[in-house]
Structure 1
Amino acid sequence: MLLPSTLITFALGISLLKTSTASPSQSVQKWDANACAVVVCGPAQNGLPGRDGRDGKEGPKGEKGSQGLQGLKGSQGPPGKMGPAGLVGGKGSPGEKGTKGDIGAKGGTRAFSSAEKGAKGDRGKWWLQGNSGLQGPKGQIGSPGLKGDKGSVGEKGTKGDSGLSEINLLKRQVSTLEGQLRALQSSFSKYKQVIMFPNGRIVGEKIFMTSGYEGNFDSLKQRCSQAGGQLASPRNAAENAAIQQIVVLYNKSVFLGINDIQTEGRFKYLNGENIVYSNWQTGEPNNDKGIEDCVEVHSSGKWNDKSCGEKRLIVCEF
């Protein structure tokens, strides 16, 4: 227990050695070395500092407190290291075929000035190919290239005929004479056959002849064919008049090489061509009784359709 104004030190069996004053505000009493020292501060203004509690025993551990509230989200950390490269992309589909370029000058390589370079495309991501830049404008046509090397010599051609040499001229003359000879032989053969038919008529290049034979259409056609001709088939008024003269001379009607056997009402020559000339009698052809398919010529020169089975005078043309 502290007394109001003095410090009392008790020591059992030990005497007081010395009393000293540290300062006007503090009184310190000391004992000998074998005694326990007790310092009691009186009413001095400031005493000596006390010892910290490091020498004290650690108190019991408190219970775990409840989890506190979640703190605010921290700021974004620095970027991480670059990741490994991605797999190579598949091959793209081929682009459309470009337009054909201009043809170079003949005989050499054609030079072209390079077109201006298009603008550089944006750089894509490191694992993707960037977009292609825009195509630059077409460059101007360059000057003609150097003359090309001379080509190799071609194979030797076959020897051509010489110009209008004397031999070629003779060959042509012989060829012309041979053609004329063939024409004469053909004409001679024709006239030789016509000898069988007296009392004929000539109109232009045609000869109309009769032998006086009478028969139906088919037999007359066959006789004329065997003689190298055919039944008379007038194609104009002059030829029809020559046939008329023979009819008057023999006073017998003749069959022409004209009929409508194939198609009723459509008269044709023996070669199947449609007729180009006619001289029908008034009211003819009328196909009387439905059996008149052949054509006869009267002394008047007029035509009439008649049954092909009737017999008429033969007149052939050569």
Structure 2
Amino acid sequence: MELLPTQQVALLSLCALYILLVPHHFLHAEKVPEGSCCGYSGMPGTPGHNGLPGRDGNMGEAGPKGEKGDPGTSGAQGLHGKLGPAGPAGRPGPAGPRSMPGPSGEKGEKGSMGLDGISGQKGDQGPPGPPGPLPAIDLVELQSELKALRDVLNKVTQFTFTKRVGTKYFLSDKKSGVFEQAVAACSAVGGVPALPKSQEENQALIGMMSSSEHAWLSANDRTAEGTFVDLQGTTLGFSNWKKGEPNNHKGVEDCTITDFNGSWNDVNCDLSSIIICEI
């Protein structure tokens, strides 16, 4: 087996070290095997050339995770991505301020007449037609209406104070009496004590009264306590009670009066109040 130069140098160095360390008598006592190093060490030879690089070793086990490094510097801005799909429509924003009106446009040309129309001059007015038939007159009905009007006029002229509201008349001579006297006096002229059926009638009624007066109304609850009706027993469709009224004070208030403010109040039927009739 042929030794490399570096191996020869190493072997010679070992032999020289052996000669220096082993005693001289021991060297003479034993026979040195043939072919072994037994000469004097020579001068060190020239170092040999470096051998070829060895093969890469196997990869070792993964070490522990190191600490997070400092963030790197920002890179250059990339290219714009593709346009994404449109998002849902947002809520409408508030209306902006109204702008100033623009200038008026020029007047356009008059349009042409349609196919169905024919442009022509206005014709002369034709002669008047014959008179139409007169409406039929029911003489009996007309005479009845005239008689009713005459009767109302006669009744109205009998009183000093009169007030018309719609088709109704309020009449009074400002005479006073208890409720039954008011009913009798109004019945004599074909009427009843006043009973407004709307705010308009209520205002017209108090226009006939002074600040110290109060007048009888037809409303009463003599048949059923707490249920006010007119003289025919019909439930009231309109009322204007004073606050806290009707209260049937002491259990004897079954008739109704109105004061000059138009406020109604239930009172004793034997109270004396002015009489205002309606027809």
TM-score, normalised to structure 1's length? 0.44
Residue from 201, 207, 222 that aligns with 1:261:
222
Partner SS for 1:200: strand
Q: Is 1:223 the counterpart of 2:178 in the alignment?
A: no
Aligned residue in 2 for 1:209:
171
Structure 1 residue 252: Cα displacement? 1.2
Structure 1 residue 196: Cα displacement? 1.4
Aligned residue in 1 for 2:251:
290
Q: Is 1:183 the counterpart of 2:142 in the alignment?
A: no
Partner SS for 1:207: strand
Residue from 114, 136, 142 that aligns with 1:173:
136
Aligned equivalents of 1:247 and 1:214: distance in 2?
13
Structure 1 residue 235: Cα displacement? 0.7
Structure 1 residue 177: Cα displacement? 2.7
Aligned equivalents of 2:235 and 2:259: distance in 1?
22
Aligned residue in 2 for 1:279:
240
Which amino acid in structure 1 is aligned with residue 141 of structure 2? Answer: G
Residue from 208, 211, 215 that aligns with 1:246:
208
Structure 1 residue 198: Cα displacement? 1.7
Aligned residue in 1 for 2:62:
none
Structure 1 residue 178: Cα displacement? 2.0
Aligned residue in 2 for 1:159:
none
Q: Identity over the aligned pairs, expressed in percent?
A: 33
Partner SS for 1:247: coil
Aligned equivalents of 2:259 and 2:272: distance in 1?
14
Aligned residue in 2 for 1:155:
none
Aligned equivalents of 1:180 and 1:259: distance in 2?
38
Structure 1 residue 263: Cα displacement? 0.2
Partner SS for 2:170: strand
Aligned equivalents of 1:279 and 1:261: distance in 2?
19
Q: Which has the higher contact order (CA 8 A, sep 6+)?
A: 2
Residue from 295, 304, 307 that aligns with 2:268:
307
Given that residues 213 and 314 in structure 1 are in contact (C-alpha distance below 8 angstroms), is that contact kept between their aligned partners in structure 2? yes
Given that residues 292 and 307 in structure 1 are in contact (C-alpha distance below 8 angstroms), is that contact kept between their aligned partners in structure 2? yes
Aligned equivalents of 1:203 and 1:193: distance in 2?
16
Where in structure 2 are there 5+ consecutive unaligned residues? 1-132
Which amino acid in structure 1 is aligned with residue 198 of structure 2? Answer: N
The residue correspondences of 1:1-318 to structure 2 (distance < 5 A) are 173-174=136-137, 176-248=138-210, 251-318=212-279
Structure 1 residue 191: Cα displacement? 1.4
Aligned residue in 1 for 2:24:
none
Aligned equivalents of 1:272 and 1:292: distance in 2?
18
Aligned equivalents of 2:239 and 2:206: distance in 1?
14
Aligned equivalents of 1:296 and 1:252: distance in 2?
10
Partner SS for 1:248: coil
Aligned equivalents of 2:255 and 2:209: distance in 1?
17
Structure number with bigger Rg: 1
- After the TM superposition, list the runs of 4 or more consecutive aligned residues in structure 1 that deviate by more than 3 angstroms: none
Which amino acid in structure 2 is aligned with residue 204 of structure 1? Answer: G
Aligned residue in 1 for 2:5:
none
Which amino acid in structure 1 is aligned with residue 254 of structure 2? Answer: D
Aligned residue in 2 for 1:59:
none
Where in structure 1 are there 5+ consecutive unaligned residues? 1-168
Aligned equivalents of 2:184 and 2:145: distance in 1?
26
Aligned equivalents of 2:230 and 2:139: distance in 1?
35
Which amino acid in structure 2 is aligned with residue 206 of structure 1? Answer: K
RMSD in angstroms over aligned alpha carbons? 1.7
Aligned equivalents of 1:242 and 1:197: distance in 2?
16
Partner SS for 1:295: strand
Structure 1 residue 232: Cα displacement? 0.5
TM-score, normalised to structure 2's length? 0.51
